[in-house]
Amino acid sequence: MKPIKKTKTVRIIYFVPKDKKPEKKYKKAIKFGIKDLQKWYNYHTYGYTFRLNEPIVEIIKGDHESKWYNETGNKENKTLNTWNNAVSETSRKFGSKHYDDNYAWVIYIDAEGGTGAGTASIACLPEHDLLGISGLHPKETSIWRWIGGLGHELGHAFFLPHSGEKDPESIMMYGYAKYPNCHLTFSDIERLRNSEFFFQTENQNDFIYPSYLFDSYVYSDGFFVLLDDKLNWEERKYTSNVVFKFEEVSRNENYIIIKDPSRNLMIQIPKKNGVSLIGSNNNWQNWVSLKEGFSYKNWEDQKKLIDQKIPHDSLIWKSVLDSNQQNVLNLFESFLYQNGYFIHLNSSFWQERNFEINPTVFRFQEILRDQKYILLFDHTRNFSIRMPISGGDSFISTDGSNWSFLYHVEKIGKINENENLNQNQNQNENENQNQNQNQNQNQNQNQNQNEICRIF
Ligand SMILES: [Zn+2]
């Protein structure tokens, strides 16, 4: 059996027409967006994501002025002119092509032109997406809708089709506009997990959202989180082990203000998504923009959730699962409780996910299992969970000897991991055999995809 190669990368081109200058803010915004999508895809495929090419954003200087790209081609319907012209010039200069053996291409061109569109291996987005992802769009000022738009077109470049009206909340339908609160369909999850663009991330912190037990604010390479005592905050980075300590000073309608006395600085964290601000003791009136990020609010929503009573009836628990989640849980060994589930992703790696707060992920390592229990350990929060192997009462301990009741859990999904593996292997084999057939199919789909992608 030939193993599937998973070495393709996403290659991003920032296309600058002759009359335009390269803008640092655009480059920065594209990087932020694509890295956020790496984490989003990782969350929604249960531990797989795409790789980025190096450097992450490359610049092409165009042969023509920006107007030319939109006006050359079809005079009556200019929608796809910019797309066609940018794609063919990139192909000439960088060798990009459909069904590319090495890359999925994302081209951002600083020229007017219809909408973003994507198809087999190539996504191309015009000026309004550049403005949008940088927070400069005159009408749609939230960057998240534009990152969602990139995620949608990138999905097409990964050969994902539209999900259809039966699943309008999917990122591959209208869900992109609500990014990050949208999902992948189960068939898209399966397709991406087997895609040559996607690799297994296992325990790599870079791709995991932090745990959102408390108020937190996440930016491109780290996050702020309110600690248990509800007074102190920490800032942590994905790339290093440095932890900065803050005290909460006050809250107003829009911001939470925290202070690091040792470094003589204060930070305002937006309660809703947006830009955080930094100020220093010397001049508290003078706040400077710090980071663009997501705010995860335990503040208001969390209280509502706690008050919401969910009945202890497994049938009702199951009804909270949508068909996607049910399919995923059936694929893995998993345990369902009233607000979420534990899922055995691979080897010793488990996740706990909560239904209501998206995306809350806690990670556990399987330490051992006997005939009755599976012992899971959370390294970051330093406690163990004893999971009953065929369902029942689970227990939690911080010292390994005193155990208290945690949740009643129901066992669903696969019992044996090997079963899972074999099935995947068979699937892969079939896929190899069907490869030629698929390629033909994809080529047929290709032309349709340009057509149907004009939903925004
Ligand atoms: Zn589309």
Q: What is the pLDDT of residues 108-133, one digit of tens each?
A: 999 998 777 888 888 999 999 999 99
Is pLDDT larger for residue 4 or for residue 97?
A: 97
Average pLDDT over residues 127-146: 87
- Residue 5 pLDDT greater than 50, yes or no: yes
How close is the Cα of 151 to the center of ligand 1, in Å?
10
How close is the Cα of 136 to the center of ligand 1, in Å?
23
How close is the Cα of 423 to the center of ligand 1, in Å?
31
Read off the tokens for 257: 């203000």
Cis peptide bond N-terminal to 311, omega within 30? no
Residue 250: exposure state from Cβ atoms within 10 A (0-12, 13-18, ≥19): exposed
How close is the Cα of 356 to the center of ligand 1, in Å?
27
Q: Which tens digit of pLDDT belongs to each residue from 428-449? A: 444 444 444 444 444 444 433 3
**What is the structure's pLDDT at 80?**
84
- Residue 17 pLDDT greater than 70, yes or no: yes
Single-letter residue type at 76: E
How close is the Cα of 152 to the center of ligand 1, in Å?
6
How close is the Cα of 199 to the center of ligand 1, in Å?
24
Nearest to 108 by CA among 214, 181, 192, 16: 16
How close is the Cα of 453 to the center of ligand 1, in Å?
3
Tell me which fold the domain 9-203+446-452 belongs to.
Collagenase (Catalytic Domain) (3.40.390)
How close is the Cα of 448 to the center of ligand 1, in Å?
10
DSSP 407: E
Task: Parse the chain into domains and list their residue ranges.
Answer: 9-203+446-452, 216-296, 310-415
Average pLDDT over residues 226-247: 76
**What is the structure's pLDDT at 455?**
40
CB 342 within 8 A of CB 384: no
How close is the Cα of 451 to the center of ligand 1, in Å?
9
How close is the Cα of 222 to the center of ligand 1, in Å?
31
| % of the chain exceeding 90 in pLDDT | 29
How close is the Cα of 315 to the center of ligand 1, in Å?
36
**What is the structure's pLDDT at 211?**
42
The span from the CA of 250 to the CA of 233, in Å, is: 12
Highest mean predicted confidence (pLDDT) among 14-23, 173-182, 361-370:
14-23
How close is the Cα of 174 to the center of ligand 1, in Å?
9
Highest mean predicted confidence (pLDDT) among 133-142, 147-156, 217-226:
147-156
Nearest to 86 by CA among 113, 53, 120, 56: 113
How close is the Cα of 364 to the center of ligand 1, in Å?
36
How close is the Cα of 55 to the center of ligand 1, in Å?
27
How close is the Cα of 16 to the center of ligand 1, in Å?
24
CA angle (190, 195, 198) in 5-degree steps: 100
How close is the Cα of 118 to the center of ligand 1, in Å?
7
- In angstroms, what CA-CA distances link 248 with 57, 158, 226, 229, 396? 37, 44, 9, 11, 30
How close is the Cα of 27 to the center of ligand 1, in Å?
23
Average pLDDT over residues 176-204: 84
